Amino acid sequence: MLKKLFKSFRSPLRRAARPRSTPEVLGSRQHPLNRNEISRHAISVVERLQKAGYQAYLVGGCVRDLLLDIDPKDFDVATSATPEQVRAEFRNARVIGRRFKLVHVHFGREIIEVATFRANHPQGEEEENSNQAARNESGRILRDNVYGTLEDDAQRRDFTINALYYDPTQEHILDYARGMHDVRNHLVRLIGDPEQRYLEDPVRMLRAVRFAAKLDFDIEKHSAEPIRRLAPMLRDIPSARLFDEVLKLFLAGYAEYTFDLLLEHDLFAQLFPASGEALKRNPEYTEKLIRQALINTDDRVHEGKSVTPAFLFAAMLWPALPARVLYLQGKGMPPIPAMQEAAHELITEQCQRIAVPKRFTIPIREIWDMQERLPRRSGKRADLLLENPRFRAGYDFLLLRELAGEDTGGLGEWWTEYQDANDSQRRQMIRDLAGKPEAAGNAPRKRRRNNNRRKRSDDGSAAAE
């Protein structure tokens, strides 16, 4: 009640103290952008909003990527129109989001994302926790629907290279934060005080790493300095949001360099705590296995092949698994149940940090389970394993382990030859395994008892029936 009373006596002019900036305006001769390289649907959205009396610009990553001669994966529009006003202009539009309201304008498979100009959050406690804006105790933004002017929008964006506004009608760029300077100098720089911006949204630390890796930029020193200190704040981020961010980090074709930057800024252990511990216990093997998995992922992306998060997460977490299995075996649990229990515990713990969906956790466990089954090749087991839908992923994972330095007794080479062999060659390969421990699994099979039982005579001697 007292807060509401004091609020009524405060002047509405208090907000006017926020600084405003004048943009650098770059004409068509001062930048390489050509509207013919831009999605016609994105241009039509901008022009239609402008004709309706609103300000509208292409903004963010699409402008940045075009300046760097990179094909944008999508096109974003910033406008003075509210989401409801944008929706009224386009019958093919839909308002989405709660934390950050947006409008998606659909043109077949292409979606143009339209965001209303945002302003910085109000600083007074009495103005927080409204329907438009909310923060938690650490300053992290929980709701972000405070609308503002174009100047406000530029100042509240995260990085200078994302605060470039392109008007395809006039063909000029508005630069409010010296973003063109940083594009030319290959720098990722936060707008405003870096620590405050990370406190508002700790995911910006991951975004800084992602842009640096994707664009082959350096993180500007003042923007990089607080990251190691503030890295633990990622624990407060919803696990579902971190899953989306991790996919952006590792499935875009620059995963190995991303891994290096995450290690450099102490962010990797915040995303994968158990794997971070494994890096401390066995750094050479752990780093080699994860790095090779990321190299393979990058190669597949560059070749246009499909990649699955399940295999990647299986590799990320595998180095943390053996120690847990040995611990459970030390408590008297048999090998296979120990493997299953350790896998369950490890995945459950990881999902508390990164919400990996069940459609991926199940294949992860199946890939790991294959590592226990691949050595068991006697009889018809090898042929049955070849028919298993997870065989290929399990086999590829086996080769990955060998590349990282694991001694599997030539198991990977054996399976490579077995897949290429004809039927008679396969039978011989199985016969050659006779007497080898891996062929029979955990222990030799018991000899089947004969159905003809012996009878004993009255004096105790054995007699044939």
Selection from 442, 386, 443 nearest residue 414 by Cα: 386
- Residue 120's CB is within 10 A of a number of other CB atoms, namely 16
Q: List residues bridging with 118 in a β-sheet.
A: 147
**What is the Cα Rg of the chain in Å?**
30
Integer Cα distance of 13 and 60 in angstroms = 31
Per-residue pLDDT of the chain (465 residues; tens, 9 = 90+): 444 443 333 333 333 334 446 899 999 999 999 988 899 999 999 999 999 999 999 999 999 999 999 999 999 999 999 999 999 999 999 999 876 789 999 999 999 999 999 987 555 444 444 445 444 455 454 455 689 999 999 999 999 999 999 999 999 999 999 999 999 999 999 999 999 999 999 999 999 999 999 999 999 999 999 999 999 999 999 999 999 999 999 999 999 999 999 999 999 999 999 999 999 999 999 999 999 999 999 999 999 999 999 999 999 999 999 999 999 999 999 988 999 999 999 999 999 999 999 999 999 999 999 999 999 999 899 999 999 999 999 999 999 999 999 999 999 999 999 999 999 999 999 999 886 665 433 333 333 444 444 444 344 433 333
Q: Which two tokens stand for residue 396?
A: 């590829």
Integer Cα distance of 458 and 388 in angstroms = 55
pTM: 0.82
The predicted structure's pLDDT at residue 463: 36
Integer Cα distance of 315 and 403 in angstroms = 12
The CATH homologous superfamily for domain 21-120+140-185 is Beta Polymerase, domain 2 (3.30.460.10)
Domain with CATH 1.10.3090.10 in the chain: 272-435
Integer Cα distance of 463 and 454 in angstroms = 6
- Residues noted as catalytic: 74, 76, 158
Integer Cα distance of 47 and 39 in angstroms = 13
Instruction: Find the angle CA(62)-CA(68)-CA(74) to the nearest 5 degrees.
Output: 20
Query: Which residue reads 């980090």 in tokens?
Result: 249
Domain with CATH 3.30.460.10 in the chain: 21-120+140-185
- For 272-435, CATH number out of 1.10.3090.10, 1.10.10.60, 3.30.420.40, 1.10.3720.10 equals 1.10.3090.10
